Amino acid sequence: MAYESEALNPVQARAADLNARLRDAHPSEILRAAIEEFRAEGRLALVSSFGAESAVLLHLAAQIDPSIPVLFLDTGQHFGQTLDYRKSLAAKLGLTDVRDLRPQYQDLATQDPSADLYKTSTDACCHIRKVLPLDRALQDFDAWITGRKRFQSGTRLSLPVVEEGEGKIKFNPLANWSKTEIDAYAKEHELPAHPLVQFGYPSIGCWPCTHPVEEGEDARSGRWQGQDKVECGIHVVRAPAPSNDGVGGDI
């Protein structure tokens, strides 16, 4: 997000200041700054998909504050391997406050009673299974940490280290890191990989919308294959709620 020469509200101005200060910092320094700025009041959370590269950010955060709230979107459509990995990785890293965010029963009953809404509208499905649960959870926080990196896809090439979104500060501590740096950190600290990585899944979301990719392909090209959709909706500027023929977000 470009902030120059725009009229900034206070949250955007704070994000711009933090980004100017941290844009070249090591991920640990960015996490420390986030924690110093927001954690004392309990206003900071980390959002993790417990996906292909999630262990790196979670390990970095656990070294500084293992009691940080970690929000996991339990969409009800995850691979069983992801749910197992969420449990084992949290235990290994000593994370003490992992929170499972689930869709509301009423939303599922009225909009997706057969759990197959993804077949007709991935955007509507992501909205009730990801966007709304995260929105509800983030009401308790002023700032959150994501695991996004610039190398993941063309849509993330200009990702800042700190940005404003929906009135909150978003820290992207790994924005600057390359795939090589991520892999080297995981190797150095002997972090367990998501079990599906070895089967060609470099980016892992819900099972109906995630496919393996070929060597050299965009890491996120296995998500929502055959559709224009590239993000689940939690990192995009929000449009009105989608209808059942429409739109979606991602971590």
Q: Which residue ranges make up the site for ligand SF4 (CB under 6 A)?
A: 75, 77, 118, 122, 125-126, 129-130, 205-206, 208-209, 232, 248
CA distance 102 to 230: 22
Q: Amino acid letter at 69?
A: P
Task: Tell me the closest approach of the beta carbon of residue 159 to ligand SF4, in angstroms.
Answer: 20
Task: Tell me the closest approach of the beta carbon of residue 129 to ligand SF4, in angstroms.
Answer: 4
Which residues fall within 8 angstroms of residue 8, CB to CB, at 6 or more apart? Answer: 16
CA distance 18 to 8: 14
Task: Tell me the closest approach of the beta carbon of residue 40 to ligand SF4, in angstroms.
Answer: 34
- What residue number has its CB nearest to ligand SF4? 206
CA distance 233 to 235: 5
232 is catalytic: yes
Q: Which residues carry out catalysis? A: 232
